[in-house]
Structure 1
Amino acid sequence: MNSTETIQEILGVKFSWHDYSFFTLMLIASAIIGVYYGFFKKQRTAQDYLLGGKSMGIIPVALSLTANNVSGVTLLAVPSDVYMHGISYWFTYVSLVIVIFVSYKVFVPVFANLKTPSSFEYLKRRYDTKTRMLGSMLYLISAILYLPVVMYMPSLALSQATGMNIHLINILVCTVCIFYTSVGGLKAVVYSDALQTVIMIGALVIAFILGVVRCGGFENVWNTSYEHNRLKLKFDIDFTLRNAFWAVTFGQFMTWLSFLGVSQVYIQKCLAIPSEKDVIKVLTIFALGIFVIGSLCNFTGLIMFTEYSNCDPVKSGILEKQDQLLPYYILDISKQLPGLAGLFIAGIFGAALSTLAGMLNSLSCTIFEDFISKYIPKNTTQLTISRILKLIVLIIGIVATGLVFVVEKLGGMLALSLSLSGITAGPILALFVGGMLIPKMNEKGAYYGSVTSLILMTIIVFGSQYYQNSGYLTTVPLPTSIEGCTFLNSTITQNYDFKIDGNSTSHTINEVPYIFRVPFYWYCTIGFVFAISLGLLISHFSKSKKNIDKELFSPVIYRFLSRNSDETIYVSEKLMESK
């Protein structure tokens, strides 16, 4: 009872020509933007390609940043997570807004002074070449592993809604994205992102309004959610609780800080703004956009639960897993508004394309600046460099498209792929925070602290996945019901009981080491704290006499910098005099 035909038969609706039209128009519009900036507004220099010639507009960049940080995975996963576990995830977006302004004060001024498109150039100037290479490798590993996941989840949604072959969808959409990113550079990425953000917000707003009306008003949604504990917050001081208040606020604060504060994608677009004073305007619009979209996704989860409070599609056997809940819901309510399903799936793919395009563009910058530039002749023309950057995008895009086929075969390992970002997020954040805010952190401390943290986080993540796949660890959702499912009969049964151990009853959760029971919200925090602590310890016993320019520290600590013969870190005298 899990086939697309059966779902459409139960709902009494199919993907119509309106739906296909919306989806196709979104892809065509993105491709046209790439053609325009690739052939009619040619970008002949590396700065044109990577920074849009530092002439990007405030609103397009803000919308682009919003789209980059709301992937198709987010649009699919957040509503279903709220449906299953309650509204607590909404507080992650409160953390995100705070992170954006912390980043503006702490990190952005340092990168702006560097005047380089690669954020990892900072690590070379602050520490050494070896540490820079470490940071770049960590970013490349996490990005390349995440790219196929970004495309797989939306493709799965479209496949469920239409019955189209998932491989054909992946190849088609990835080809369009690779084309406009490689040909059009940052300008094509930003303006296509802006278009996709508008589509995404429009689809969310329409679905939200229709859902509220269909459920009998927002008051009914709120009351139903309250009665079934979807609005309850857990304030327990227990680091093993998945959706506890502290995990989704402080834990996610550190994760967002790593993904935004020092992210190549984020910094690269901030540097594309012609005036530094306009950066805060961009970030304000970005914060508002991400908060609105995050809130709509969360409340859509509550609306979905209200709609299916008496007939859970997963528990009843209509759907195989919770990630299919949102496409199912959108297909359901599209009976009231033909074309909504196509518009919404176009929004999901727009978010995925935005994330993919932004990462492809930033990866081309990182790979060229950190791994290729030192091997090409100094008299290489800007046009040749621009072509090299486009070739890098093409190669990475092809690799990511190929890895989608691998992700599909992983099954339960898909969750591991999503958790891999937690392996690298903490060590990367520690490299930049230690450099900008802790003068006593030296190159040996930064390098070996982050490498050791990387090893520790690899053990924690893989260990946690082992216990989950073995059935020792499960995430128990809030109760759902199938009492109102009129289509069920006595031959349809599904075991929806969640056990601590799926293999036998002889084991208990207490047999799993505590560290492996900590949810992924805390991975970045654990990695960061360990890297910083060990880094400071190593720095203390391996004193460095390297001169460090004041511009390599964040302006928030300028007042604490000094030149002292007893210090292990020196700030160059010339810059100190200019303080």
Structure 2
Amino acid sequence: MDITFHWSDYLMFAFWLLVYSAVGLYHRFRTPIRKKLNQWFHRDQQEQVKQDDTETIFLGNRQLSLVPIVCSVMASFLSAVSLMGTTMEAYVYGIEFICMILAYSIAFPLAAEIYMPVFYKLRLTSAHEYLEFRFGKSVRWIASLIFCLQMWFYISLALYAPSLAISQVSGLPLWISLLTTGAVATFYTTLGGIRAVVWTDVLQLLVLTLGLLLILIMGIVKVGGPQVVWDIAWEGKRLQSFSFSPDPLRRHSVWILAFGGAGMVLSIYGGNQTQIQRYLSCKDMKTARRAILLNIPMNAIFLAVQLAAGLVAYAYFIDCDPIGAKLVKKADQLLPYLVMVLFDGIPVIRGLFLSIIFAAALSTVSSGVNSLATVILEDIFRPLFYFISGKDVKPKSRTLLATLFSALVGLSTVGLAFLFDVMSSNVLPFAFSLFGAIGGPILSIFTLGILVPCINKYGGIAALLASLAVGLWLSIGAIVYPTPVPSLPLSTANCSVNVTTAAKVAAATRTVYSVSYLYYTPICLFVALIFGIVFSAIFRRLFRHCYISMCVCVSLLS
């Protein structure tokens, strides 16, 4: 079908870009703007926040309130990757992914009651500072480098997915979409710091909500009503795709989604600097705890809406699967294609949809850029500078470096995003496996530090490196030797091209690389626990023997 845009679509798209950029500008010049307003309205209120303070840039002076933090905690990882990937999940495999709600119910309370209080009470800037207190500098540096690798890849992926969607629906070259998305996110993050990131997250969540509701309503109306969608989905077995098999080599099952998913979610909300930075920005610990727990119902609702969009897509394309008919190049382009078809000839809405995808990307990219800049400055540059020069970086220089690192990180992710164009279309499992394989070791070392007091610094180093090696081994092995996943039947009977799309059957022999990507975090945690305890015991006994031998030698010599 021919896809054309009305001038109002471009206007809507440009409007939201300007809004996001304006938020960054406002928070960059927040102090002089407020002073000027106070003068105009004859107020004697004095601004307490200094604009040239790294704590303001990274933590908003630790004065952020509940509503923006709740929205920001959710929007940070409600990316275009999850938006497009979850819709495709329901379309191709059914709604079994809804069981991730069980994972939310397990992981969020653990993050609120075990992990967050430790970081908040220490009044840290970077969560990795805790690792230096607990295990020493080596563990902090290793964990910081692992985090940088993890987030650099993830935000590049989050940048690539919406740029691909924009390219697909508008005909713009991919490189233009990548540069536009990356430039806007880097602009307002660099200028406004954490306050700009948090408040744009609020706006982006509103745009996402409005857009998803419009897609659902229009799709249901065009299909013929909610009962028709339900009946078609039932006949296509999209509603009965639940498996209670304990087999860990399955891609998904109720148990894998509940318990493996809980580990993956906990690695994000309990051990990831991006989220911990939001908890540390709250005005008190009670606000931080509420922000985490309120994300259980909010994430559950958004997950259900995204899966419902996938069912609407299946009902709409019941006899002409756009994937099988080659109307879209990759399965993850299903959602943008659905919108282009649903709102054909309706001005403004397509531009709003571009804004939705853009909002989903910007929330993740800006949050990642801000947290990466924090870790690079606080955990890598400052310790290295002190090691070389014997003194700390001056406060004014830290502010300039924070801005510089934000800009450099944002630009570098654009370059990496170009590499994802040659990868598999199934971006959701890749993104989650990345968090399991790389985020799992970071969560593991935090967990050992908080809950296992017998682990010493040598056990901590061994646990971190061993769990990272196992996580990368499983993740890379699964990419190099992928296991075909059976999909539910799809039809192209009424397409203009004659294509038969049936359920795909996995032909390859299952191996250790077939283990579900959601189990990567629990596996890393188990490996870290074993190596941490064993190496701690070995070095403790070794040092004890050395100490006894030294005492004996001293006594003999004396």
C-alpha distance after superposition, 1:8-49 (max 9, x if no partner): 2xxxx5222232222211111111111111124372111111
Counterpart of 2:457, as a letter, is E
C-alpha distance after superposition, 1:59-78 (max 9, x if no partner): 11211111102011111110
User: Are 1:333 and 2:328 matched, yes or no?
Assistant: no
Distance 2:11 2:487 in 1: 37
- Give 1:215 deviation, angstroms: 2.1
- Give 1:85 deviation, angstroms: 0.4
Which residue, out of 520, 524, 544, partners 1:523? 520
Distance 2:428 2:476 in 1: 11
User: Are 1:306 and 2:302 matched, yes or no?
Assistant: no
**2:364 aligns to what?**
355
Counterpart of 2:396, as a letter, is L
**2:40 aligns to what?**
none
User: Are 1:292 and 2:289 matched, yes or no?
Assistant: no
**2:171 aligns to what?**
163
The change in CA–CA distance for 1:289 and 1:500 in structure 2 (over 3 A counts) is closer
Counterpart of 1:462, as a letter, is I
Contact kept, 8 Å, 1:33 with 1:184, in 2: the verdict is yes
- Give 1:291 deviation, angstroms: 2.0
**1:404 aligns to what?**
417
- Give 1:338 deviation, angstroms: 3.0
User: Are 1:98 and 2:106 matched, yes or no?
Assistant: yes
Which residue, out of 213, 218, 221, partners 2:226? 218
- Give 1:414 deviation, angstroms: 6.9
- Give 1:298 deviation, angstroms: 0.9
**1:481 aligns to what?**
491
Which residue, out of 536, 543, 547, partners 2:540? 543
Distance 1:388 1:466 in 2: 39
Which range moves more in the overlay, 87-96 or 25-34? 87-96
Q: TM-score scaled to structure 2, two decimals?
A: 0.88
- Give 1:380 deviation, angstroms: 4.6
User: Are 1:204 and 2:212 matched, yes or no?
Assistant: yes
Which range moves more in the overlay, 277-286 or 528-537? 277-286
Counterpart of 2:527, as a letter, is F
Counterpart of 1:25, as a letter, is F
**1:75 aligns to what?**
83
C-alpha distance after superposition, 1:375-407 (max 9, x if no partner): 157575433211110100111111111112222
Contact kept, 8 Å, 2:188 with 2:196, in 1: the verdict is yes
Percent of pairs with identical residues: 27
**1:15 aligns to what?**
5
Counterpart of 1:480, as a letter, is L
Counterpart of 2:463, as a letter, is G
Contact kept, 8 Å, 1:426 with 1:531, in 2: the verdict is no
**2:531 aligns to what?**
534
Counterpart of 2:525, as a letter, is F
Distance 1:355 1:61 in 2: 14
- Give 1:320 deviation, angstroms: 2.1
Distance 1:257 1:105 in 2: 12
Contact kept, 8 Å, 1:315 with 1:496, in 2: the verdict is no
Contact kept, 8 Å, 1:334 with 1:340, in 2: the verdict is yes
**2:443 aligns to what?**
429
- Give 1:477 deviation, angstroms: 0.8
Counterpart of 2:4, as a letter, is K
**2:130 aligns to what?**
122
The change in CA–CA distance for 1:69 and 1:379 in structure 2 (over 3 A counts) is closer
User: Are 1:464 and 2:472 matched, yes or no?
Assistant: no
3-state SS in 1 of match to 2:172: coil
Distance 2:101 2:423 in 1: 30
**Structure 2 matches for 1:532-571, cutoff 5 A?**
532-543=529-540
Counterpart of 2:193, as a letter, is G
- Give 1:246 deviation, angstroms: 1.2
User: Are 1:271 and 2:280 matched, yes or no?
Assistant: yes
Counterpart of 2:416, as a letter, is L
The change in CA–CA distance for 1:431 and 1:351 in structure 2 (over 3 A counts) is same
3-state SS in 2 of match to 1:107: helix
3-state SS in 1 of match to 2:481: helix
Which residue, out of 389, 410, 413, partners 2:402? 389
**1:25 aligns to what?**
15
The change in CA–CA distance for 1:173 and 1:544 in structure 2 (over 3 A counts) is farther
Which range moves more in the overlay, 62-71 or 412-421? 412-421
Contact kept, 8 Å, 1:97 with 1:291, in 2: the verdict is no
Contact kept, 8 Å, 1:442 with 1:544, in 2: the verdict is no
Distance 1:166 1:150 in 2: 14
C-alpha distance after superposition, 1:515-535 (max 9, x if no partner): 111121211121121111222
**2:434 aligns to what?**
420
**1:55 aligns to what?**
63
**2:552 aligns to what?**
none
Contact kept, 8 Å, 1:63 with 1:289, in 2: the verdict is no
Contact kept, 8 Å, 1:27 with 1:173, in 2: the verdict is no
The change in CA–CA distance for 1:545 and 1:217 in structure 2 (over 3 A counts) is farther
C-alpha distance after superposition, 1:317-340 (max 9, x if no partner): 212221111001111111374322
**1:4 aligns to what?**
none
- Give 1:432 deviation, angstroms: 0.7
- Give 1:105 deviation, angstroms: 0.5
**1:570 aligns to what?**
none
Counterpart of 2:62, as a letter, is K
Distance 1:45 1:524 in 2: 36
**1:181 aligns to what?**
189
Quote the RMSD (CA, aligned, Å). 2.2
The change in CA–CA distance for 1:463 and 1:264 in structure 2 (over 3 A counts) is same
- Give 1:545 deviation, angstroms: 12
Distance 2:426 2:224 in 1: 40
Which range moves more in the overlay, 47-56 or 88-97? 88-97
Query: Which structure 1 segments of 5+ residues have no match?
Result: 1-6, 502-508, 547-579
The change in CA–CA distance for 1:336 and 1:294 in structure 2 (over 3 A counts) is farther
3-state SS in 1 of match to 2:329: coil
**2:96 aligns to what?**
88
Contact kept, 8 Å, 1:65 with 1:266, in 2: the verdict is yes
Which range moves more in the overlay, 31-40 or 149-158? 31-40
Distance 2:360 2:395 in 1: 31
Distance 2:492 2:105 in 1: 38
Contact kept, 8 Å, 2:493 with 2:500, in 1: the verdict is no
**2:289 aligns to what?**
280
Counterpart of 1:236, as a letter, is S
Which range moves more in the overlay, 328-337 or 45-54? 328-337
**Structure 2 matches for 1:141-152, cutoff 5 A?**
141-152=149-160
Which range moves more in the overlay, 35-44 or 451-460? 35-44
Which range moves more in the overlay, 529-538 or 412-421? 412-421
Counterpart of 1:516, as a letter, is Y
Distance 2:179 2:481 in 1: 34
Contact kept, 8 Å, 1:145 with 1:417, in 2: the verdict is no
Which residue, out of 305, 320, 331, partners 1:322? 331
Contact kept, 8 Å, 1:146 with 1:417, in 2: the verdict is no
Contact kept, 8 Å, 1:240 with 1:517, in 2: the verdict is yes
Counterpart of 1:438, as a letter, is V
- Give 1:181 deviation, angstroms: 0.5
- Give 1:256 deviation, angstroms: 0.5
- Give 1:94 deviation, angstroms: 3.4
**1:110 aligns to what?**
118
